[in-house]
Amino acid sequence: MSTHTEIFDNMIYVLSQFAQSDKALNTEEIAYRLSMSQRTAQRVTKSLTQSGWLEFKRVGRSNLYFANEKTKKLFGGAK
C-alpha cells in the first residue's frame, strides 16, 4: 500500500511530465513513460482530471489526457 507521500509524489511527477509535453497521452503511454502500472496511471489521471489539473478528449474507445493552462503555468511547461 502506498503512503500519502508516495501518492502525492506520483501525482506531482505525472503533472510535471504533462506540463513538459506538447501532445496528449493515453493511460498506456503514461504508464510506460512513468514506469507504473496502467491501473495506477488510470487512477492518477482520473484524480488529476477531477481536481482540474488535467483535461481529456475522448478518441475512439480511449481518453487522451493533456495538461491544461493551470498545470502548464504552475510547471512552466510547453505553451
Structure confidence by residue, pLDDT tens digits, 8-43: 888 888 888 888 888 899 999 989 988 989 998 899
- Name the pTM for this structure: 0.81
Domain count, the chain: 1
**Structural domain that includes position 45:** 4-75
* CATH code of the domain containing 34: 1.10.10.10
Could you report the per-residue pLDDT of 55-65, keeping only the tens digit for each? Answer: 999 999 999 99
Q: How far are the Cα atoms of 40, 54, 58, 70, 73 from residue 36, in angstroms, in the given order?
A: 6, 18, 22, 25, 26
